[in-house]
Amino acid sequence: MRRKRTLILTVAAVLAAAGTTWIALPASAAAATAAFTKTSDWGSGWQGDVTITNGGSSALTSWKVEFDLPAGATIGSFWDAEMVAAGNHRTFTNRAWNGTVAAGAKVSFGMVGAGGAPVNCLLNGRPCGGGPTAPTVAPTTNTPTVAPTTRPPAPAPTTPAATTAPTTAAPGGNPAPPPASNLLPVTITNNTGRSDAVHLYLLGVNLTTGKLGYVNGAGAFTNWTGGQPTPVPAPDVSIPGPANGASTTIKMPKNLSGRLYMSLGKKLDFRLSTDGLVQPAPWAGADPNKDTLFDWSEFTLNDSGLWLNSSQVDMFAVPHVVTVQGGNGVTSKTGELKAGGRQRVIDRVKAQPGFEKTVYTRADGTVLRVLAPGKAADGGQFSATYLDPYITSAWNAYAGRTLTVVPFGDRPDTKFLGRTSGNVMNFTDTTGRTVASFTKPSTADVWGCDGALGAPNDQVVGPIARTLCAALHRSTLGTLDTQPSGTAADFYKGTLTNHYSRIIHEQMVDGKAYGFAFDDVQNQESLVHDGDPRQAGIVLTPF
C-alpha cells in the first residue's frame, strides 16, 4: 500500500462509482458515447475505465477517445488501447483487436492515473456524451479501507527467491496455543533497554462495516467521530504499554486491518478531519510528531488469518520483531535486526552519498528515524530526481530486446513480453495481444510504486506493475531480462539504487524487510502469516 500518500487513513479508499464523469445526454441516445468511471481511488492515484457504447444502427470500425488532464494530473499505465500524449492532452485509439463495436455493443479500456479526473472528452471528434455541453462529474460513494503500505494480503503469489524464510519453531518449543477466538491476543514485549514509557495505539478499519476507528486493550472497536474540515485533535486512545523488560497483552478483533503504533517517551498527536484520521507524518516539517520516537506494524486479521509485518516503507525507527503462533503450535517470526543493527543502518545510510539528510536526530542527540528516500524527497531532504538516469537507461534497454515478466510463481506459463517504444513500454501476452502499457516512470513513481507504476488489483496490469517497480528499486531492470529473477545477492548492485532498502535488508537476521511497497515480490518482506492464528507478538528489541 505509493506512493505519495496523503496523511488521511482513508488513502486506499475503494470507490463504488454511483455515476460516470462523462454523461450521455438524452438527445444523443442513438449515437456512440464514451463514459469514464473512476473505479478506485487511493488518494495519491486512481484507476479508471472508459466504456464506449455504440447506440447507433451500424457498427463502429474504429474509435478514438481524446481528453485533457487538469494541471498536475498524469496517466501512468493503461490497457486495451494505444495512447499518444501531447502536453496535457491524451488520445486513446483502439488496438487491432477491439476497434469494431457492433450496434448496441460496448468496449472498454482502462488506465491508472494521478491528480484530477479527465475533462473535455471527445469520441471520434464529437463530445463523448453526444451533446455540446461540458462534461459533468457525478458523485461517487466512498467505502474507506485502511492502506497498509505493504498490502499484506497480496492478491497472488510471486516467484520465490532463494532466501531465508521467517524463523519457525516446532510445537515442542512453544507453549500450547490458546483456543481460537474472534479476539486475537497480541503481546507487546519491551526489550529496548530504555526507560521511556511506551504508548500503544491499535487503529484501523472494521472490514465488516467499512468504518474507521480504534480498539481498546480489551478488543472493543469504536468508530471515529467528530472530524472537522480543519483537523482537530483526536481523543487520547492510547493503551499503556510495557515497561522495559515487561510485556503487555491486548486483544485484536477479527475483521480489522490497520496499524499498531508504538511511541516511546511521548504520546502521539492524532487529528481528525472530515475525511478520516490524520496519521503522523514526521517527514513533513509541521507534523507535531516530528520529535517523537515511534514506529508501527501493519496487519490484516480476517477469515483467512493474520498478516502481520514490520514496515520500513516510510521510515526505519524502532526495531521490532513480529510473531504469530498458529493452531498447530508453530510460531513464525521475522523483522529481527542483527546485534547493533540499528546503529549500523544509521551509520551506513549517513555514509551513502546523497542520503546524509535522511537521518533525523532530535535536539537531545537521539536518532529518531531514517526516512525512506521517497519520504525524504517529499520533505526536501533528498534529491527528487535521484533515480532518473538509471530509469532512463533501464527503460531504453528494452527498445532493442525483450523483457519477460513471469509474475506468478504458481503459473510459470503466464508470461508477458515487454518492448519499449519511445517512452512507453508495451506488454503482450503469449498470443501477441497487447495487454498493458506503461509510460516511463519518474523517480517519485518508483519510490512510491505509484503514478506510472500504479498497480490495479487485477491479474495482468497490477502484477506487471509490481514486478517493474521491484526491479527498479533493486536496479535489476535492464540487467536481468526475466523478471522477477535472481536472488537477494543480485539486488541493489547499481550505483543508483535504493541504498536505504539495501542497508536495512543487510542488517536483518533473516534478510527480510519491507524496504518499499512491493518488497514482497520474490518474498523479501518481513511478514508473518498464519491461517489459524492463536496469538501474535511484537518484541521491541534493544537499541
3-state SS track over 230-249: CCEECCCCCEECCCCCCEEE
Indicate the pLDDT class of residue 45, thresholds 50, 70 and 90: confident
pLDDT at 348 over 70: yes
Region label for 379, one of left (φ > 0), alpha (ψ between -120 and 50) or beta (otherwise): alpha
Which top CATH class is 185-381+503-540?
Answer: mainly beta
In the chain, domain spans: 19-138, 185-381+503-540, 388-495
Number of H helices, E strands in the chain: 6, 36
| 474 close to 497: Cβ distance less than 8 angstroms | yes
Query: Which residue type does 480 have?
Result: L
CA distances in angstroms from 173 to 167, 245, 247, 329, 426, listed in the order given: 13, 21, 20, 9, 52
CA distances in angstroms from 189 to 299, 426, 537, listed in the order given: 17, 49, 8
Catalytic residue among 49, 80, 298, 530: 298
528 Cβ contact partners less than 8 Å away, ≥ 6 residues apart: 166, 306, 307, 308, 309, 322, 323, 324, 332, 333, 334, 536
Q: What is the residue-wise DSSP string for 120-152?
A: EEEETTEETTSSSSPP----EEEE-----TT-S
Classify strands 367-371 and 359-361 as parallel, antiparallel or unpaired: antiparallel
pLDDT for 494 equals 93
pLDDT for 413 equals 95
Answering whether pTM is above 0.85, one says no
Catalytic residue among 66, 80, 314, 520: 314
Per-chain mean pLDDT for the chain = 87
Percent of the chain with pLDDT over 90: 77
Segment 203-224, tens digit of pLDDT: 999 999 999 999 999 999 999 9
Higher per-residue pLDDT: 378 or 27: 378
DSSP conformational letter for 60: B
Among 9-23, 107-121, 396-410, 489-503, the range scoring the smallest mean pLDDT is 9-23
pLDDT at 425 over 50: yes
CATH architecture of the domain covering 19-138: Sandwich (2.60)
Classify strands 46-54 and 183-190 as parallel, antiparallel or unpaired: unpaired
Segment 290-305, tens digit of pLDDT: 999 999 999 999 999 9
Which top CATH class is 388-495?
Answer: alpha beta
pLDDT for 43 equals 76
Segment 60-108, tens digit of pLDDT: 999 999 999 999 899 999 999 999 888 999 999 999 889 999 999 999 9
Q: What is the mean pLDDT of residues 341-359?
A: 98
**Helices 499-506 + 341-351 axis angle, to 10:** 150
Question: Among this protein's residues, is 298 annotated catalytic?
Answer: yes
Classify strands 482-483 and 403-405 as parallel, antiparallel or unpaired: parallel
Q: What is the residue-wise DSSP string for 415-449?
A: -EEEEEETTEEEEE-TTS-EEEEEEPPPHHHHHHT
pLDDT at 390 over 50: yes
What b/e readout covers 107-140, taking b as 16+ CB neighbours within 10 angstroms?
bbbbbbbbbebbbebbbeebbbbbbeeebeeeeb
Work out the angle at residue 104's Cα, subtended by the Cα atoms of residues 99 and 107, and round it to the nearest 5 degrees.
35
Q: What is the mean pLDDT of residues 226-253?
A: 96
**Cα–Cα distance, 315 to 289 (Å, whole number):** 14
pLDDT at 17 over 90: no
pLDDT for 243 equals 98
Q: Kindly report each contact of residues 128-131 with a partner whose C-beta sits within 8 Å and lies 24 or more positions away, as own/partner.
A: 128/22, 128/33, 128/34, 128/35, 128/36, 128/65, 128/67, 129/22, 129/23, 129/24, 129/25, 129/28, 129/33, 130/24, 130/25, 130/27, 130/28, 130/29, 130/31, 130/32, 130/33, 131/25, 131/27, 131/28
**Cα–Cα distance, 39 to 51 (Å, whole number):** 12
pLDDT for 379 equals 92
Work out the angle at residue 540's Cα, subtended by the Cα atoms of residues 535 and 543, and round it to the nearest 5 degrees.
165
pLDDT for 15 equals 32
Q: What is the mean pLDDT of residues 215-243?
A: 96
pLDDT for 130 equals 66
Q: Which three cell numbers stand for residue 538?
A: 511484537
Q: What is the mean pLDDT of residues 313-342?
A: 97
pLDDT for 20 equals 43
| 90 close to 81: Cβ distance less than 8 angstroms | no
Report residue 202: phi and psi, to 5°: -110, 105
Question: Among this protein's residues, is 506 annotated catalytic?
Answer: no
pLDDT for 144 equals 33
**Cα–Cα distance, 207 to 145 (Å, whole number):** 7
CA distances in angstroms from 89 to 92, 111, 130, listed in the order given: 10, 15, 20
Segment 123-163, tens digit of pLDDT: 999 899 864 333 333 333 333 333 344 443 333 334 344 34
Q: Do domains 19-138 and 185-381+503-540 have the same CATH topology?
A: no
pLDDT for 136 equals 32
